[in-house]
Structure 1
Amino acid sequence: MINLLSEQSESVRWRLMVGAAKKAAEAQGYSLARVPGRGLSNIWNITKDGKTTVAAIRTTRDRYIAFPPLKGGTKWKTLDDVETVIVATVDSKDDPENVEVYIFPADDVRKRFNAHYAARSKEGQTIKDNFGMWVGLDRDNRGIAASVGTGILDHYKRVAVYAISDLLGDNPHEEAGREEVEHAPETVEPSLSTIAEVMAWARDRVAQLAGVQVEAVKLDLKIEY
């Protein structure tokens, strides 16, 4: 089966998934207004039944979500500033057909990220401030540090599911999506300016996914002209 998302540009993929998150929240009775003055953060005021709270929208094409730790894991960029986390995720990272949307209380998400950070730190893994730290939406049963905090989907039902083909069929005009592209979500990776920094970041990401020490990951880089 053709992976429809893989055929789209990065901006189209992101806009499609953020659009799904907003559409689902609106179907749940929320009205959304982007919080001004937050740079590239994807932060929204969401209002329902006269009550307004602050939400972060996260999109994921591998069923992991990320927030960057700050101050040695005692704080979280963006996550500490919101009360709700709205997640749009593909149903399968390898063969996605649908976008699923979930709405989580930020307190639960913070609890899981705190536990994940503590478990990785206890194992001696290096975690840098302002690097995105990933936690799986699905339960990881390997019983390793990378497993801690995963499985939030065991406790919350999805609020909506949309076929990717239908979302693409909506065919939003480029002009209508321009503002959202300009306000794309904050990057959860650091600003990388050297090959060494990119390799260090990649080793950390691989180590987290594999549940091993960073020192156990060996990467080879080959550049062909």
Structure 2
Amino acid sequence: MEKSDFTSALRGFARSAIEKHGCSATNIIGRGRPENAFLELRGAYEGKCAVRTAKNGWFAFPWMTTDWGTLPESDYVLVPYADHDDPARGTKVYFFQADKLKPAFDAARAARIAAGKKVSDKTGMWVALHSVPGYLPTDTGFERLADWVEEFAPHTKGGAKAPPKAALDATPNRLSIAQAKQALAAYYDVSPEAVEITIRG
């Protein structure tokens, strides 16, 4: 799976996770901002939500000279994480209150500077969800700050959900985009809004 597809799939799982917890989510459009990267939440949680994908258990916010990019304007943060190259094989989504996460990022940055480590401007500073021996304690174990974790079980040939009957009944030359989205959403256990289909002619 290509990196862009992997990241997009993780963001789709993040959106599905928050919807499972009683929220509707709409994209906040911005220049250069991909779909499902910044959401407006309504329902059980109200406000702006940043979605930061985790790579090998690490996720980042960029330091932008005087403060973190995106984090200060967020009320919540979703971090979808898969420890392999296909989110459909199993994904966890961590939900954080931004006002808990920001002080932790501040502390991690201060500790790095005090330890003589480089902290670059306008570059992501990565922290680990899980404790990692040998690293600064402030850089690891961020999962402890999560309000909740939603786990999506892996889909295998024996355990995958069946697509909706309407999609199964449709022949290839009569399969609509909506039907295809429904089938893929059912298979991957995400909302149809989280499915993107690109047709190249």
Where 2:50 maps in the other structure, the secondary structure is strand
Q: For the structure 1 residues 135 and 54, does the alpha-carbon distance in structure 2 shift closer, same or farther, using more than 3 Å as the test?
A: same
C-alpha displacement of 1:164: 4.1
Deviations 1:33-67 (A, max 9, x none): 11123532621111115x63000011123111101
Aligned match for 2:39, one of 9, 32, 44: 44
C-alpha displacement of 1:15: 2.2
C-alpha displacement of 1:154: 2.6
Aligned counterparts of 1:111 and 1:164: Cα–Cα separation in 2 = 34
Matched AA of 2:152: Y
Matched AA of 2:141: G
Aligned counterparts of 1:62 and 1:18: Cα–Cα separation in 2 = 15
Aligned counterparts of 1:36 and 1:133: Cα–Cα separation in 2 = 24
Aligned match for 2:143, one of 150, 153, 176: 153
TM-score (normalizing by structure 1): 0.63
Where 1:133 maps in the other structure, the secondary structure is strand
Q: For the structure 1 residues 95 and 177, does the alpha-carbon distance in structure 2 shift closer, same or farther, using more than 3 Å as the test?
A: closer
Matches within 5 A, 1:48-197: 48-49=43-44, 52-71=46-65, 74-90=66-82, 92=83, 97-142=89-134, 144-145=135-136, 147-156=137-146, 158-165=148-155, 166=160, 169-170=187-188, 177=196
Deviations 1:127-160 (A, max 9, x none): 1111111000112343x43x31421213436432
Aligned counterparts of 2:86 and 2:8: Cα–Cα separation in 1 = 19
Q: What is the aligned-residue identity percentage?
A: 29
Matched AA of 1:26: E
Matches within 5 A, 1:17-32: 17-32=10-25
Query: 5+ residue gaps in structure 2?
Result: 161-183
Q: For the structure 1 residues 106 and 124, does the alpha-carbon distance in structure 2 shift closer, same or farther, using more than 3 Å as the test?
A: same
Aligned counterparts of 1:21 and 1:30: Cα–Cα separation in 2 = 12
Which residue is equivalent to 2:171?
Answer: none
Q: For the structure 1 residues 164 and 130, does the alpha-carbon distance in structure 2 shift closer, same or farther, using more than 3 Å as the test?
A: farther
Query: 5+ residue gaps in structure 1?
Result: 1-7, 180-225
Where 2:91 maps in the other structure, the secondary structure is strand
Matched AA of 2:150: A
Where 1:59 maps in the other structure, the secondary structure is coil
**Considering only aligned residues, what root-mean-square deviation do their CA atoms show, in Å?**
2.9
Aligned counterparts of 1:128 and 1:55: Cα–Cα separation in 2 = 25
Q: For the structure 1 residues 63 and 48, does the alpha-carbon distance in structure 2 shift closer, same or farther, using more than 3 Å as the test?
A: same
Q: For the structure 1 residues 94 and 35, does the alpha-carbon distance in structure 2 shift closer, same or farther, using more than 3 Å as the test?
A: closer
Where 1:76 maps in the other structure, the secondary structure is coil
Indicate conservation of the 8 Å contact 2:91/2:151, yes or no: yes
Deviations 1:64-120 (A, max 9, x none): 11011122xx40011111010011011x35998410011101112111111111111
Indicate conservation of the 8 Å contact 1:139/1:154, yes or no: no
Where 2:52 maps in the other structure, the secondary structure is strand
